[in-house]
Chains A and B, each alone.
Chain A
């Protein structure tokens, strides 16, 4: 009897919400309880249905359990979702107990976001906390199965933003219709490739440029700053350029926004598919911008060709057993200069590019000389081996003659 009492005392508090809801035929009622029971960061930390929905989980009586007098709130929607989540997530003291490093300003940020402002204006279709994180079966952001894990963010945002019906009626600041092609465009981008093919979780996805809780499109003047968060050097160089005064959309003018393609040297052209074409005319000899593009491109292509030749020369010499570690270092230095030259392109000052290319060309010249010395050494070795071969063959002839002589003596 005593043991039974002890066992009852140790039993967890009854949660009739889960018991009852999991047996419901209507999946809208059953599914949340099932999800919550399987994997849920809140349940794992001791939270229960009552913490968000109120009511009385201790009674099996539905009417009593759902009694507003027992603070039953039902399913929070709209602003009530944010308020419910913020009760804990904006409480620094409480959050320190569970996740000390987690920020507690999500609700404030949300209020400043386009979503938050729309919600405040009465739009109930906008995203709230549960739209991205889920309501039941909530996982940590670091959980690869979470809808807000870096590889899933784009799909999660796209569940609304790629839905033309859902986005109907939403406009951009300039009054134009909000496009729904962002996910399709992002999937073509170098950022998406880095994230999915190279498993680089630091590659940008929607929230890295737009923010997450405070999601909003970057303002026109802020684009360079947003890109510059990662591409700091390019942003600095661009800041020095004449284009920074002219371009409304900063980096986006040339590189696009969601479909940021892998940059190539071929982009630097005022003819054909070059990115300078919309503003400059490569056929116009008086177009100084086009001339600058041609000059910078020529410098870069020239260095690339010389670098390739030097690499091939050094690789061949190395494979044949000539010491080239210093030259390999020099090759790396020249390659770094090539990258630097590409960075300088963003200043749109051909002289700066030429200066870097000249430095690199000097280095490549030194590598060429070392490569030629290696080729000469190989030739020297071959001559030595050829002489040895000649000497060996002479001995062979001598021995053959000697064998013939002693055979004759033997007969």
Chain B
């Protein structure tokens, strides 16, 4: 008997693992043409775990103050053994994680996997996507370099355009009227305590719901099932789990390749009194929003253009949260082309505006 088997027996005698054994033995994953999209969630979860581990390692040396933040990151990448690797992985993994979270989001949206009974899984997932963006936004400032400082100034400035509550929001985010050491302290608290706490709870809920409800199948496949066709299943363990692990390794390989060919740079220390360097723009995942706001006229129907833009993005976020309850056709198990068109247009908008925003001066 191997050590693993002996450990399982030992645990079984004490906490009765028969339910778990039964669940693992019985659980199946539907096999169909769209099953490749199932792995995106697992890859995102894997990168989140990478972020947690590398983040904890960085936390050992990072100092969240305007006077020491840049120097501490510099210390990590130059003096700490393999610190450069940890920081490189944390930075690249963050970007890859958000990219995969978006891919997961669009796949779920276009396959209408949010329909009954998975509304709560969708809501928890979409909130997790927003949280990932929050992680990206708050973490970007932490190295306290020139680019991150001015990009945060622009980003928090956008929050200031929120109608009525803008000024209050701006002060809450910045801890004052301007981006200072107080902003850094807030973003640090947000990045390492508040967001992780909420994210952990939501990830747990999301996973629990996925395991309870099993994998969703596309509407077309569901229609075939209703007509009595039998959709083949693959055992969750080991067939699906091994595929999931394979996908994780692909993500890891991608991460290693990015760190190998494009080491994450340190930049120049932020100087609040320096002139804003040319070409300041936020991280790529905020570029579409940023560029849209830039293109808006100063006034739209008597309101400030930026305010209208921020309101529109707020409305879009609310729409995404409530999609399962708005898409009545999907709720009834019928195809809903209108929502497919909305999803495709949304994807096109993000891709095109991100590219234009990247090259815009």
Contacts and interface: CB of A to CB of B under 8 A. Distances in A.
Interface of A: 318-324, 378, 381-382, 385-386, 388-389, 392-393, 395-396, 399-400, 402-403, 406-407, 410
B277 to A, nearest CB: 15
Given A406-B242, A407-B239, A410-B234, A388 B256 contact: yes
Nearest to A315: B268
Contact of A400 (B84, B246, B252): B246
Contacts of A378: 263
Most buried by A among B79, B260, B265, B267: B260
8 closest pairs, A vs B, by CB? Answer: A321-B77, A323-B78, A321-B84, A385-B260, A399-B246, A389-B256, A319-B265, A392-B253
Contacts of B252: 392
Contacts of B249: 392, 395-396, 399
B243 interface: yes
Interface residues of B, number: 28
B221 to A, nearest CB: 20
Interface in B68-94: 77-79, 83-85, 87-88
B244 to A, nearest CB: 10
B256 A385 contact: yes
A389 B256 CA distance: 6
Interface of B: 77-79, 83-85, 87-88, 234-235, 238-239, 242-243, 245-246, 249-250, 252-253, 256-257, 259-260, 263, 265-267
Contact of B263 (A321, A389, A395, A399): A321
Given A321-B78, A407-B239, 13 more contacts: A321-B84, A321-B263, A323-B78, A381-B263, A385-B85, A385-B259, A392-B256, A396-B246, A396-B250, A402-B242, A403-B239, A406-B238, A410-B235
Contacts of A406: 238-239, 242
Contacts of A395: 249
A382 B239 CA distance: 35
Contacts of B238: 406
30 contacts: A319-B266, A320-B263, A320-B266, A321-B77, A321-B78, A321-B83, A321-B87, A321-B263, A321-B266, A381-B84, A381-B263, A382-B260, A385-B85, A385-B256, A386-B260, A388-B256, A389-B253, A389-B260, A392-B249, A392-B252, A396-B250, A396-B253, A399-B245, A402-B242, A403-B239, A403-B242, A406-B239, A406-B242, A407-B234, A407-B239
A392 B250 CA distance: 8
Nearest to B235: A410
A323 B265 contact: no
Contacts of B83: 321
A389 B265 CA distance: 20
Contacts of B234: 407, 410
A387 to B, nearest CB: 10
A108 B110 CA distance: 92
Most buried by A among B238, B245, B249, B267: B249
A4 B28 CA distance: 105
Contacts of B256: 385, 388-389, 392
A350 B347 CA distance: 68
A381 B242 CA distance: 31
Most buried by B among A320, A322, A386: A320
A400 B239 CA distance: 11
B46 to A, nearest CB: 13
Given A382-B260, A389-B260, A396-B250, A320 B265 contact: yes
Contacts of B77: 321
B238 to A, nearest CB: 6
Contacts of B266: 318-321
A320 to B, nearest CB: 5
A401 to B, nearest CB: 10
B243 A403 contact: yes
B243 A389 contact: no
Nearest to B73: A321
Nearest to A403: B242
Given A319-B267, A321-B84, A321-B266, A389 B242 contact: no
A178 B341 CA distance: 82
A239 B242 CA distance: 84
Nearest to A383: B260
Contacts of A385: 85, 256, 259-260
Nearest to B266: A319
A382 B256 CA distance: 10
